[in-house]
Chain A
Amino acid sequence: SHVLFIENEYIRATFDSGTGLLMKIENMEQSLSLPVSQGFFWYNASTGDGKSSQASGAYIFRPNHLKPMPVSRWAQVHLVKTALVQEVHQNFSAWCSQVVRLYPGQRHLELEWMVGPIPVKDGWGKEVISRFDTPLKTQGEFYTDSNGREILKRRRNHRPTWRLNQTEPVAGNYYPVNTRIYISDGHTQLTVVTDRSQGGSSLQDGSLELMVHRRLLLDDGRGVQEPLMELGTGSTVLGRHLVLLSSVSDAAARHRLLAEKEILAPQVVLSQGGSSPYYYW
């Protein structure tokens, strides 16, 4: 019955206490507020259809429906607030959970997701995405990067150098995301910095999605001769999305520094102590 939120001196993230889902992000430094709904969905992998026998596989992303299914419409939440961290633990299902986290002095929201093992006993291959829905009027445009060096403008169902006949409305709009993807309405920008290369898109205005995991039942016939069906430690993935809300004029400086820190993160080495003097000569 009460409003659930985590905040520091720069950011406040508000959650719907009924569904447990992220509802709003505020940048208090710049007095920006954006309704953001975030959740996990899955595309049903194609096994081939009347148009083409092509199945979704390791090399091919080919969902059989335009609309993905929600993993869950609500999350069981648990709130942790200490002096050094504030977290909302969201449990969507037995195989999908997330921690939304804020440290003091941090200008971004950290989403640490854990997905897998994806159940496939129902006979459906699944391609799982994390999707952010906002009211931003993005006019079919979004931006993805190439190793953080060149950020390219992408327009839905469009290629800049030829007339596109779009035959795959979902996969045909997916692009590589090496370190970041963002959408903006010219004033406000929502940027997601990734910790690894992923596929991403914006299939609706104001929406942004990243594929986080997949498990498939058929081979796509591109030479691997095995379906993408990880059974070992790789069946569960743990990753992070760092979310920045800022004005467009300020966004580049923030996401460049953040992505740099993410890629060249400090390395941690432990020892039991009890050292002896060491001289290299």
Chain B
Amino acid sequence: SGDSAPLNEAMAVLQHHDAVSGTARQNVANDYARQLAAGWGPCEVLVSNALAMLSHEKQNFSFCRELNISICPVSQKSEHFQVTIYNPLGRKVQQMIRLPVNDGIFFVKDPNGKTVPSNVVMRPNSYSKRYQWDLLFPAFVPALGFSMYSVAKVTAATSQAYRLRARSKKSR
């Protein structure tokens, strides 16, 4: 079962103790980081449960804690994965999604199965020597809701299957 109480408590401690970068001794700052990380773990379970309940589908959701520094094992190593985007705003939004990937070509499909335009763009050299590519696609998310996009890396087999599907659709 998920639980948001540990994160609540960690946040309360941090706010009470003025836990701003640099205004505590390093070992204290490290402890704040430990409390936050420990608090976020059960929240991930809570979010997974909520998404499973809302979508009526149980999945092994993966939370990429280092997406901000472009590290995500799922998007970088998987041939196929799903992206769930939750919008906490009370109005629909369009958001450009960026995910670190290894070089290649990808098919992205929206919740209705339609292909979405996507690009793989180079990251600046100065950012990282190891991870150099980002997958980019526009996502539309409803107010206080979520959208699920599916991403497939083009391999020789998927490319051929895609071409065959496209040709058979055309002939029909």
Binding site for B on A (CB under 8 A): 58-59, 78, 80, 82-85, 87, 89, 91, 97, 99, 103, 105, 114, 214, 224-226, 228, 230, 234, 238, 260-261, 264-280
Closest to A95 in B: B126
What chain A residues lie within 8 Å of B127 (beta carbons)?
Answer: 97, 114, 238
What chain B residues lie within 8 Å of A272 (beta carbons)?
Answer: 59-60, 62, 74, 78, 80-82
What chain B residues lie within 8 Å of A273 (beta carbons)?
Answer: 59, 80-82, 150
What chain A residues lie within 8 Å of B26 (beta carbons)?
Answer: 226
B-side interface residues, number (CB < 8 Å): 59
What chain B residues lie within 8 Å of A269 (beta carbons)?
Answer: 47-48, 51, 61-63, 83-86
Q: Are A270 and B141 in contact (CB under 8 A)?
A: no
What chain B residues lie within 8 Å of A275 (beta carbons)?
Answer: 55, 57-59
What chain B residues lie within 8 Å of A84 (beta carbons)?
Answer: 96, 117-119, 121, 136-138
Cross-chain contact of A80 among B56, B99, B122, B139 (Cβ < 8 A): B122
A198 to chain B, nearest CB (A): 11
Cross-chain contact of B59 among A234, A267, A274 (Cβ < 8 A): A274
Among listed B7-15, B16-24, B157-165, interface-contacting one: B16-24
What chain A residues lie within 8 Å of B99 (beta carbons)?
Answer: 268, 270
B106 to chain A, nearest CB (A): 12
Closest to B138 in A: A84
Q: Are B88 and A267 in contact (CB under 8 A)?
A: yes
Interface of B, helix, strand, loop or mixed by DSSP: mixed
Distance of A274 Cα from B155 Cα, bound (Å): 19
Q: Are A97 and B124 in contact (CB under 8 A)?
A: yes
Which residues of chain B in 74-127 are interfacial with respect to chain A, using CB atoms and an 8 Å cutoff?
Answer: 74-75, 78, 80-89, 93-97, 99, 117-119, 121-122, 124-127
- 19 A-B contacts (beta carbon < 8 Å): A58-B22, A82-B136, A84-B137, A85-B96, A97-B127, A103-B138, A260-B89, A267-B85, A268-B99, A269-B62, A269-B86, A270-B75, A270-B81, A270-B82, A271-B60, A272-B78, A273-B59, A273-B82, A275-B57
Q: Are B126 and A114 in contact (CB under 8 A)?
A: yes
What chain A residues lie within 8 Å of B56 (beta carbons)?
Answer: 277-279
Binding site for A on B (CB under 8 A): 21-26, 47-48, 51-53, 55-64, 67-69, 72, 74-75, 78, 80-89, 93-97, 99, 117-119, 121-122, 124-127, 136-139, 141, 150
What chain A residues lie within 8 Å of B80 (beta carbons)?
Answer: 272-273
What chain B residues lie within 8 Å of A89 (beta carbons)?
Answer: 124-126
Asked whether A271 and B52 contact (CB < 8 A) given A84-B96, A114-B127, the answer is no
Q: Are B139 and A266 in contact (CB under 8 A)?
A: yes
B49 to chain A, nearest CB (A): 8
Q: Are A280 and B85 in contact (CB under 8 A)?
A: no
What chain A residues lie within 8 Å of B61 (beta carbons)?
Answer: 269-271
Distance of A149 Cα from B72 Cα, bound (Å): 35
Q: Are B53 and A234 in contact (CB under 8 A)?
A: no
- A97-B126, A274-B59 given. 6 additional CB < 8 A pairs? A83-B117, A224-B25, A226-B25, A267-B47, A269-B61, A278-B52
B112 to chain A, nearest CB (A): 17
Q: Are B136 and A85 in contact (CB under 8 A)?
A: yes
Distance of A21 Cα from B162 Cα, bound (Å): 44
What chain A residues lie within 8 Å of B121 (beta carbons)?
Answer: 80, 82, 84-85, 87
Closest to A276 in B: B58
A23 to chain B, nearest CB (A): 20
Closest to B69 in A: A238
What chain B residues lie within 8 Å of A270 (beta carbons)?
Answer: 61-64, 72, 74-75, 81-84, 99
B11 to chain A, nearest CB (A): 15
A253 to chain B, nearest CB (A): 13
Q: Are A266 and B23 in contact (CB under 8 A)?
A: no
